[in-house]
Amino acid sequence: MSNLPPSLRNVLLISALALSARLDASAARVDSAKRFLEKHCIACHGEDEQKGGLRLDTIPFEPAKLENTQMWEQVFQRVADLEMPPKKKARPSEAEQHDFLKTLNDRLVAADLKRQTGEGRVVLRRLNRNEYQNTLFELLGVETDLKSLLPEDAQSLGFDNVGEALNVSAILMERYVEAADAALDAVLVKGKRPECQKWHLSMMPNNIRKPETNSGKWDYRLASGVRVLPDETFIFFNSMFQPMRLEKFQAPVAGHYKFRVSAYAAQSAGHKLSFALYAGSFDPKSLNTHLVGHFDVPPEEPTVIEFTDPLPLRGSIRPLPYRLGQHSINTPELVEAYQGPGIAIQWVEIEGPLIEEWPPRGYQRLLGDLELEKGQLEDAEKALRRILPAAFRRPVEDDEAQPFIDLVSAELKAGKKFEDAFRGGIKAVLCSPDFLFLKEVSPSENPLKQKKRASSTRLPLADFALASRLSYFLWSSPPDDTLFEIAKRGTLRDGATLHSQVERMLSDAKAQRFVSNFTGQWLGLRNIELTTPDKKLYPEYDDALQEAMLKETQLFFAEVLHNDLPVTHFIDSDFTMLNERIAKHYGISGVDGQNFRKVSLDPAFHRGGLLGQAAILKVTANGTNTSPIIRGNWVLKNILGKPVNPPPPNIPAIEPDIRGAKSIREQIAKHRELASCAGCHDRMDPLGLALENYDVIGGWREAYRSTGEGKNATTEVEGRRVQYKIGLPVDASGVLQDGRSFQTLAELKSLLFSEGSQVAQCLGEKLLVYSTGGPPGFADKMELREIIHRAGGSGLGLRRLIHEIVQSQAFLNK
C-alpha cells in the first residue's frame, strides 16, 4: 500500500476502519494508543508546549466520555488526514497509524451509537420560515406572503433547519397566530368570484401633461428623459428610478395577473437593448417590490413580452431601462433633440386576477361548497377530521381531533358566528405543536402503534416521520399524496421504494426549492446582498449582474445533480451556465440574450467549478477588497470540510487597503508571524491567495484596483467614463501546509482533485445536516466515508450521493 498516493491510501485506511468498527476493550490496544501519543504527539501537545491550545498528556485516553469526544474526534481527523504528526517530525509507520486510528475509531463509534440509542441524534425541530410558507401553500393553497410575518430563523452548522437553533418564544407564537390569521383571510373568502378584467393602456405617467391640441407640445418638466410619440408610445432614455410606473393600473384585488408589454429599442443604431421590469406595491408607506426579470428588445421592431406575476392589492409594474445612463433632458426642446438610445413601450395589456377555481382550493378542501353563513358544528367536525392528517403529516386518532372540535363547539355556544368559531378551530390546528414541529418518532412511539421492526442499536423512524424527513429534504414541504400512501402501507423503508421516490421527487418542479435553499446556505448565496461593491472601484456591478451570478451557480448545481456528474465538478469543470450579462463579465463571447445555457469552457477563460464563479467570489469578499483569509477559510469549511477555529479575541482584523500601497501578502504577514495564528493561516492563506486573481465581483484581474497609488485607468459604464487606478500586480502562488506548491489557481485545482474523496465527504456531511436537521455523529461520518469509498470516491455523482444519504442509517433513524 506504500506505493499508493497518500490521499488514496488514506481513503482505503479509513474505510477499512469504518468496516471493522467494534469495541475492543483490551488493555494492550489502549497501551499501544498511549505509546503512539507519547511518541508522536506529546512533544507538541504536552507540558512544555501546547500547540493550538491542545494538551494531551493530562487527558485520560477515554474517547467515550462526552466531555472528551469532540477533542478526540479532532485528533482522529488530523492523524487520518496525515496532517499530524507534521512532516517535519518523525512519521509513524503505516502499522502504527492503523493501530492507533482503529483503537480510537472503535471507541468513538461505539460511544456515538450508544448515545443515539436514547433520544436519537436529532432534537425536536420546528418548521423554518420557508418550510412554513410552503406547507401552508401545499395544505391550503395559500400564496400570501407569510414568511415576512415571521422573524428570521437562527442558523446552526450553516443551516436554518437545524433543530437546536430553532427555538420558540412567546413573540414567535404571537407571530404564528398573525400568520395563521393572514392565511385564513386568503382561504375563508365570501361572495362571488372576483371578475377577471382586461386593460389596454399606455405608460402615460400622471406627471406628464397631454397637449390640449394635436399641434401642442407635451409637458416634460416633471419627467426627465421621456419622449411621447403621437400614438402615446413612451420612449425612456434614463436608467434611473423615476415616477414612471404604470400609474393607470392598480390591481383591484391581490392575485396573479398576466401582462403583455409591446416594446422595442429606439434610436439604438441597430442594436438590441434591455430593460428590467419590477412589480409590487410602489406606495412609499408599504413599499414591497420584486424584480420580475430582464428582457431584451430588438431595434425598431416591436416585440411582445409576456409574463404572469402575483400582485398585492393596488400593485402595479415599473420598467427600468438597462445601462442607458442618467440624462437631464426635461424640457420639450431637449427631449425632441436627444439622439441617444431608449426603450420604447407602445402599450401594456393586463388580464386578471387569474383565478383557476372558486372558492379557492383551501376553502374547498375544508368546507367543499358549503356557505360559511350556513355552517354547523357537524360541518366543522368534518372539516377538522379531513384536514388534520394532512396538517399533522400522519394519520390522526379520533381523540386527537376532539380538542379542536370542542373549541369550535364552545365558541358557538358562546354565541359566535360559525365563521369565527370555525376560524378559531383551524387557527388552533395551525398553531399546534403537531403542525409546527416535525415530530420524528420511532414506530414504538407512533400514535398508530405500528408494529416495531427488528431491534437495532438505533431508533428507526416511523414511516410517516420518514416521509416527512424526505419531503422536507427535497421539497421543503410536506409529503404529497403518493408519499403519504406509501408511508401508510409501511413500505417506504424498502430500498427500491426509497430510490424510486427520490428519483420522482428530484424530477418534480418542487425540487428547485432544494437547489435554492441548499446552495443558498451551503455556499452562502443568501448573503449576496450583504455587501455593496464600491461604485468607484467596480462601477460595472449592477442588479442584472447580481441576478446572473446567482442563477449561474444554482443552474450549475442543478445540472450536476440532474446528470449525476462527479462532485469534483465543484472543484473544476469544463462547463458552466451563462447568459449574455455574466458571459460579458467573464470576457466570454458568443453568448447572446437573457436566457441561460450550458457553455463549454476554455482554460483561457479562468473559469470552471465553484471557485471561478462570480457569486462565490462575491460572497467571500467585502465591497472594496478581497481577503485570502476569508476565502481560504470558506474553501476549507465548504469544499474540504476542514474549518479552522475562530481567531483569538485579541487578534485584530485586517483592514483593507484600497489605496494600493501594500500587497495583500504584506497585510496578512503579521498574522502568520504569531505562533497562535500560524497553524490556521498555513492552512487558510494559500487557498485564499490562489483566488486573488478574482476581484470582489468575480472579475478576472492581473493587478489590483485602487483609489490611491497606481496607473490611471478608465472604463465606460452607462455612457459615462469612470476612472480608477491600477495598483500592485496579483501574486496567486502559494504553498500548502503539506509542502505542495502552486503558481496559479489551475495548478491548485489539480492538487485539490487528489482530495476528491474529501470533497465528497464534506458535501455528504452538509447534506446530512440539511436533510436531517441535526449534526452527524462520528459513526455517521464513518458510515459516510464507507459509502463514498464504495461508490467510487472522487468519481461519486451528486445524484447518487443523495440516494446514498437517503439510504443511510443516519437518515433512516432518529
The residues, any chain, with a CB within 8 Å of residue 174's CB and separated by 6 or more, are none
Q: Regarding predicted confidence, which is higher, 189 or 450?
A: 189
Give the confidence band of 211 by pLDDT, cuts at 50, 70, 90.
Answer: low
Whether the pLDDT of residue 747 is over 90: the answer is yes
The C-alpha angle 777, 780, 784, rounded to 5 degrees, equals 140
Q: Is 121 exposed, middle or buried (0-12, 13-18, 19+ CB in 10 A)?
A: buried
Q: What average pLDDT does range 447-459 have in this prediction?
A: 50
pLDDT band at 2 (very low <50, low <70, confident <90, very high): very low
Lowest mean pLDDT: which of 5-9, 661-665, 777-781, 802-806?
Answer: 5-9
pLDDT reported for residue 594:
93
Q: What is the mean pLDDT of residues 17-28?
A: 53
Q: Is the dihedral of CA 776, 782, 785, 786 positive or negative?
A: negative
pLDDT, tens digit, 9 for 90 and up, residues 35-91? 888 888 888 888 888 777 788 878 888 877 777 788 888 888 888 877 788 777 777
Separation between Cα atoms, residue 631 and residue 601, nearest integer Å: 23
Question: Which of 223-232, 286-295, 450-459 has the highest average model confidence (pLDDT)?
Answer: 286-295
Nearest by Cα to 362 from 422, 312, 310, 299: 422
Query: 555: Cβ–Cβ under 8 A, 6 or more apart, which residues?
Result: 577, 596
The pLDDT value given to residue 448: 45
Q: What is the 3-state secondary structure (H, E, C) of 197-235?
A: EEEEECCCCCCCECCCCCCCCCECCCCCCEEECCCCCEE
Is the model's pLDDT at 21 over the cut of 50? no
Across the chain, what does the average pLDDT equal? 86
- Average confidence (pLDDT) over 698-720: 80
CA distance 210 to 382: 60
How far apart CA 86 and CA 79 sit, in angstroms, is 9
- How confident is the model at residue 27, as a pLDDT? 74
Q: What is the 3-state secondary structure (H, E, C) of 318-346?
A: EEEECCCCCCCCCCHHHHHHCCCCEEEEE
pLDDT band for 104, please (50, 70, 90 cuts): confident
pTM of this structure:
0.88
Neighbouring-strand partners of residue 261: 305, 348
**Predicted pLDDT at 24:** 44
- Cell (9 digits) for 379: 360541518
**Is it the case that residue 205 has pLDDT exceeding 70?**
no
Interatomic CA distance for residues 19 and 32, integer angstroms: 21
How many CB atoms lie under 10 A from the CB of residue 246? 24
What pLDDT does 452 receive?
Answer: 44
DSSP string, 637-653: IIIIS-PPPPPPTTSPP
What count of other Cβ atoms lies within 10 Å of the Cβ of residue 11? 23
pLDDT at res. 324: 83
Instruction: Locate 185 and state its grid cell.
Output: 383571510
Measuring CA to CA, which residue among 305, 307, 282 is closest to residue 292? 307
Task: State the angle between helix axes of 798-807 and 495-506 in degrees (0 to 180), rounded to the nearest 10.
Answer: 140
- pLDDT of 662 reads 63
Average pLDDT over residues 198-221: 68
Question: CB of 289 within 8 A of CB of 278?
Answer: yes
Mean pLDDT is lowest, of 96-105, 412-421, 524-533, for 96-105
Reported as a pLDDT band with limits 50, 70 and 90, residue 648 is low
* Mean predicted confidence (pLDDT) in 10-18: 52
pLDDT at position 63, please? 78
Cell of 664: 495583500
Neighbours of 682 (CB within 10 A): 16
Helices within 563-659 (DSSP H only): 580-586, 614-619, 628-635
Summarize the confidence of residues 471-476 as an average pLDDT. Answer: 98
pLDDT of residue 766: 97
In the chain, what is the straight-line distance between the N-terminal and C-terminal CA atoms, in Å? 38
Query: What distance in Å separates the CA atoms of residue 262 and residue 259, rounded to the nearest whole number?
Result: 10
pLDDT > 90: what percent of the chain? 57
Confidence band for 759, pLDDT divided at 50, 70 and 90: very high
> Given this model, what pLDDT does residue 457 score?
60
**Sequential DSSP letters for 93-121:** PHHHHHHHHHHHHHHHHHHHHHHHTSS-S
Q: Tens digit of pLDDT for each residue in 243-280?
A: 466 878 999 999 999 999 999 999 999 999 999 999 99
Residue 131 identity (one-letter amino acid):
E
> Distances in Å between the alpha carbon of 650 and those of 121, 647, 653, 676?
36, 8, 10, 11
| pLDDT of 418 above 90 | yes
pLDDT, one tens digit per residue, over 374-406 is 999 999 999 999 999 999 999 999 899 999 999
Q: How many residues does the chain have?
A: 814
The predicted structure's pLDDT at residue 737: 84
- What span, in angstroms and rounded, lies between the C-alpha atoms of 387 and 362? 10
At residue 54, the pLDDT reads: 82
